[in-house]
Structures are given as C-alpha cells and as structure tokens.
Amino acid sequence: MRITETAVPGAFVVEPEQLADERGVFYESLRTDLLADATGRSFETRQINYSTSRRNTLRGLHSVTSPPGQAKFVTCVRGALRDIVVDLRIGSPAFGNYEVTVLEAGSGRSVFIPEGVGHGFLALTDDSCISYVLSTVHVPGTQIDINPLDPGLALPWGFTTPPLLSPKDSQSPDLAAVLSAGLLSHWDPTIT
C-alpha cells in the first residue's frame, strides 16, 4: 500500500494495492504495522463506527478533546465522499490547513487522522457509507464541533445546492469561538 502524508502534518492518505482477477478485487484496507512505519506511531483500534448518508449530506467538522484524544482511520465502504481534514492543533505550523480527499468505495482509499485534527465529509452519492476505525471509545462530553460552513475556514466542500446538515452541525460555533473556549489540543511535534 502507498501511504502519503498530507498538508496536515500527521494525516495520511492510504491507497491499497488492488489485486484484480475475473472473480473481482482483493486488497488490504488497514495494516497497522505499515501505518506505524509511515507515521512513526502505533494505531490501536478501540471502536469501529459506520454512518450512512444521502447525497449532499455534510457531516462535521468534528474532533475530540484531549484527553482522551482520538485518532481515526476513515474509509468509504459504499458510494463516494469528499473528505476534509483540518489542522486544529494550537501551535501547529499548519494550523488551519486542510486536505481534501475523495473517498470512493471501489478505490479502497482511506485517510488516517491524528488526534487534534478536525474531520468532516460531504456525501457525493445516495446511501454513502463511511467506516470510522477509532483509537479510543466514545466518551460523552468530549466531542468538539465546529460549524463546517465557518467562513473563516472557507472549506471547499464543493456542493452546488445547500447541503443537508444536522441541527447540531448547523448550530455549532465557528473556529474562533471554539479556540477562545480553550477546547482545542496543543501541537506536539513528537507525535504529529
């Protein structure tokens, strides 16, 4: 598999080598040993979640406070998504930088998202399904939500009609309010 660091330090796009024949395709979706070699850190799975979305649904921008922190390995297992990660770590040289990756079920492409980095996606097809492999279990009260349409971030979601957002996401504060509330993690260059 090919593992490439993005414009957000510590976030990586993972593209598997696909083996195709007349029966179909086989590939390894996640190899934690290869991910550790590329990222310089281990990734242990504590929880796996799925969500399905109809076309033009926008979910995010989400992160988790530290502690507990939460790294994610996200993969589109049905349909297609425009996935965006944003560096939200205070003091990071890339603070506010983002990376856009199109995740399509047939490609097997995934994104590894380190702790302190925000994540969201726009469903490009009906019945899109995303898998989240998480380094920590859900801890109520630790979710950080930032309005994905915050003009200060100006993220390139690429929708042509207003997206479908949950009330929670549409009413989330902007990045400036979350920053002033002291909820964001601090950059630790030893664990990007």
* Per-residue pLDDT reduced to its tens digit, 84-133: 999 999 999 999 999 999 999 999 999 999 999 999 999 999 999 999 99
Q: What is the phi/psi pair of residue 78, to 5°?
A: -155, 135
Kindly list the distances between the CA atom of residue 24 and the CA atoms of 21, 56, 185, in Å, as whole numbers in the listed order.
Answer: 6, 30, 43
Of 27, 62, 119, 138, catalytic: 62
Q: Which residue has the tokens 């969500």?
A: 51
**Coil/strand/helix, residue 83:** strand
At residue 191, does pLDDT exceed 90? Answer: no
Q: Tell me, yes or no, whether 30 lies in a domain.
A: no
Of 98, 132, 138, 186, catalytic: 132
Range of the domain at 59: 44-180
Mean of the per-residue pLDDT values for the chain? 96
Q: Which of 68, 57, 58, 61 is nearest to 145 (CA)?
A: 61
User: DSSP for 36-51?
Assistant: HHHHSS-----EEEEE
Q: Tell me, yes or no, whether 143 lies in a domain.
A: yes
Which CATH number goes with the domain that contains 133?
Answer: 2.60.120.10
The pLDDT value recorded for residue 192 is 65
Q: Which of 109, 75, 115 is nearest to 92 (CA)?
A: 115
The pLDDT value recorded for residue 33 is 97
Residue 172: both structure tokens together? 């989330």
The pLDDT value recorded for residue 189 is 85
62 is known as an active-site residue: yes
132 is known as an active-site residue: yes
Banded pLDDT at 36 (limits 50, 70, 90):
very high
Q: Tell me, yes or no, whether 32 lies in a domain.
A: no
The pTM (predicted TM-score) of the whole model is 0.96
Q: Tell me, yes or no, whether 187 lies in a domain.
A: no
The pLDDT value recorded for residue 190 is 81
Q: Which of 111, 83, 84, 87 is nearest to 97 (CA)?
A: 87
27 in Cβ contact with 105 (< 8 Å): no
Residue 88: both structure tokens together? 């939200």
Q: Tell me, yes or no, whether 33 lies in a domain.
A: no
Q: Tell me, yes or no, whether 90 lies in a domain.
A: yes
